[in-house]
Amino acid sequence: MESLSQELPDPFTDANRPLYEVKANLFKGLAHPVRVRVLEVLAHAETDLSVSDLLTDTGLEASHLSQHLSVLRRHNLVLAERRGSLVFYRLAYPQVADLLAVARQLLVEVLETTQQNLINTVGLRPLVSTDAASRAAVTR
């Protein structure tokens, strides 16, 4: 089992950077729907997944998947391991799956709150805009 080395500098190793910058860099790694989808697939997998498994599970083209896996490796979100001619991926830390689960819970709560706010507006009287009031005055 040969671990693939990272070619780019690790954005998390500079001890002089403030924690909020390091956190922002972590979120940059998450800042694309394809990368979130790849992480979700890996989070729900019972074993490491090969690139072909990820291609099947995500429906992406190989070059597109490769670019996103590179970003995920660079941000320390996934680990890659070469086994013979195949490359397998897994989450770098189990907390990545926890982070995705918390994000989902937060999103559901935000959507429920938004839905409740919309429901609460159903019984309100319609507002008359100044344009509508002006038009009504002109037509009288």
Q: Report the number of distinct structural domains present in the chain.
A: 1
Higher pLDDT, 109 or 138: 109
Residue 74 CB neighbours (<10 A): 19
User: Is 73 part of a structural domain of the chain?
Assistant: yes
Q: What pLDDT sits at residue 118?
A: 85
**Residue 124 covered by a domain:** no
33 found inside a domain: yes
Provide the domain limits for residue 29: 19-93
Residue 102 lies in a domain: no
Q: CA 78, CA 121: separation in Å to the nearest integer?
A: 44
Domain-embedded: residue 113: no
Q: Report the CATH number at residue 25.
A: 1.10.10.10
pLDDT at 17: 86
> Per residue in 38-73, pLDDT tens?
999 999 999 999 999 999 999 999 999 999 999 999
Question: Does 111 reside within a domain?
Answer: no
